[in-house]
Structure 1
Amino acid sequence: MLYVHHKTMVHGAESRMLRGGTGDKVLFLHGAGGMTGWLDYFDKLAHSYDVLAPEHPGFGKNERPEWIASVADLARYYTTFCASLGGIHLVGSSLGGWLASRLAMLMPEAIRSLTLIAPAGMRARAAGSGPGALPSRAERLRRYYFDQSFVERVFAQDPHDIQKIESGNLKTSELLGGPGFYDPTLELELGKLSCPTLVLWGEEDRVVSVELAKRWGDAIAGAEVHVFPRCGHLPHVEMADAAASLTEAFIERTTSMS
C-alpha cells in the first residue's frame, strides 16, 4: 500500500504525518516511543480506510510549543488538528491511548469509534519502572515485545540519529505524563465516553499490566475487550494481522449501527 509524507502545521507547531488509503478516516495516535514509520497494521487498515498517522509535537525532530506540557494540552492540540477531518475512527497506543480517550471526551461529536491499545494513564507506574530508568535501548525495547525477534527488526531499521531522537521522545513523554505517568481523574471520567470502544491488550505486557484491561473495559460503558496471548505491549506490531482484523471488524460494526 502506498503512503505519503505530509507536513502539518497547527498553532505554529510543525509536524510530520504518514497517510495512505481511501475511505472513512482512521486517526492513529502513537505512544511514548514515538512514530516508528508506516506499520503493517496501517497497511492492512489502509485497504479499506484513509489512515492518518501524525507524529506528536516534541517527538522525533518536531519542536514542542511551550503550551503543550501535558496529555490534556496535547488533546487540545488535536482538537484543532481534527477540526477539518469530519467524523473519524480514533486509535491510540499506550500514551496515545490515554491521549485518544481525552480527545474523545473533548470532541464526542467527531469520534465515530475508539480503539485503545494497552492505554496508559489509569494507574501510577512504580518508581524506577519508566522507560527512562532502563540503561540501554535494547533493554527498553525488550520490555515492549513478547517475541524478542521484533527487537532485532527494530534495530535493523534504526536511523543513524536514533539516540538523539529517543532521548527527545523520552523527555517529552515524561513531561506530558507527569511524575507518576498517570491521571488520577481519568478512570472516573472515562464514564463520560459514549462512543463505541474497543480495548486491545497483550497478555504478556510488561509496560502496562494486562490487569488494567478489565478496568478500562468496566470504566467505559459497553466497551469490548480483547486480550492477545503470547503478546507484549504492542499488539498492533506483534499481532498486526489479528489486531487490524479486529479493528476493521469493530469499525464496520459501529458504522453499520450509526
Structure 2
Amino acid sequence: MNVLITGASAGFGEALARRLVAKGHQVIGCARRLDRLNALAQDLGELFLPVVMDVSHPETIPKIIADLPEFFKQIDVLVNNAGLALGTEPAHEADLNDWTRMVDTNIKGLMSVTHAVLPAMVARDSGYIINVGSIAGSWPYFGGNVYGATKAFVKQFSLNLRADLVGTQVRVTNLEPGNVAGTEFSNVRYHGDDDKAAQVYSGFKNMTGDDIGDILLWLIESPAHINVNRLEVMPVAQTYNGLTIAKQDK
C-alpha cells in the first residue's frame, strides 16, 4: 500500500510514517523541511520517499504528484495532515497575515492535494482520504476564530466528498483530535514561545502524537467496506465547556 502523508516531518505525520513503514507499507512523506525528511528517510529506509511540498503553494502540487517515481505513483491513501494554528488573540486584535496563512494551508492546501490525487482513486474505484481536522471545527473557543473556521471547512468538505463519491469504493474520514501534547502545534501557534506552549499541556494527562498515529493506522487498516465518517477524540481530562455568559455588575 502507498500512503501519501502531508506534514510528515513531525507530529502526527511522523508518527504515522514510522508505523506504516514498520508494517511494510510504502510512504510518500511530504513536508517543507527537507532536512527533517532526510533524517526520517535515514531511519525508515527505502520504503519512505521524502518529497518537499509546501501545501500553501497550490500551484506546485500537481507537478509534484505527477513527478512521483513509478514505484510510488499509485496513491492508495492520502492523509491530509499538514496544517497549523497561528495566534490566540480575539478576532478584533488578530494579525490578518496569520489568518491568511491558516486559510492558505488548512483550506487551500488540503483542497489542492485532494484535487490532485482523487481522480486516480475514482478511476481505480479504490482509495482512502483521511483529513486531519480538529475539535475546533465543531466547538468554538476564545481565540479560535479563523483556525476553527478552517477546521469547520475540513469537516464539511470531508462530508461533501462522501456525498460526491457515492457509488464508488473511495473512503473519506475526518479525524478530529482535541489536545495533543508533544507536537509542534502550540509552539507554532505562539510563534515560538515555548513557555506559553508548555502551559497549554500542563496539569493533565494529554494525548500524544503517537496516540494519533495509532488511530490513523487503525483507520488505514480498517476493512475496506467500512467508512468512518467522523472520529472525534479527546484526552479524558478534556470535555465540553458550558456556554459562556458575560454577566454585568448591577
State the TM-score bracket (shorter-chain normalisation): 0.3 to 0.5
Q: TM-score, normalised by structure 2?
A: 0.42
**Over alpha carbons, which structure has the higher Rg?**
2
Q: TM-score, normalised by structure 1?
A: 0.41
Which structure shows the higher helix fraction? Answer: 2
